[in-house]
Amino acid sequence: MATKKEMTYEQAISRLEEIVSILEKNEVSLDEALELFEEGTRLTSFCADKLKNAKAKITEINKE
């Protein structure tokens, strides 16, 4: 059984930009806007974790 490939940081940023663009147009229903906002919140958290892990890795490499 194949596992789902994890989204990359770049893919998450791209999707966030898409969500912001959709929301800025103000052409979606309230329910859809809430769903997009929730997705954006999850993506933001994902990106923050990726950056935190990258920073920790760089810090570790610099210690060596």
- 10 in a structural domain: no
- 11 closest CA partner among 55, 50, 53: 50
- 12 in a structural domain: no
pTM of the model: 0.82
- 35 in a structural domain: yes
CA atoms within 13 A on the CB side of 27: 4
The string over 42-57, giving b where at least 16 C-beta atoms fall within 10 Å of a residue's C-beta and e elsewhere, is ebeebbeebeeeeeee
Query: For the chain, how many structural domains are there in total?
Result: 1
- 32 in a structural domain: yes
Structural domain that includes position 36: 28-64
- 37 in a structural domain: yes
pLDDT of the chain along its 64 residues, tens only? Answer: 444 578 999 999 999 999 999 999 999 999 999 999 999 999 999 999 999 999 999 999 998 8
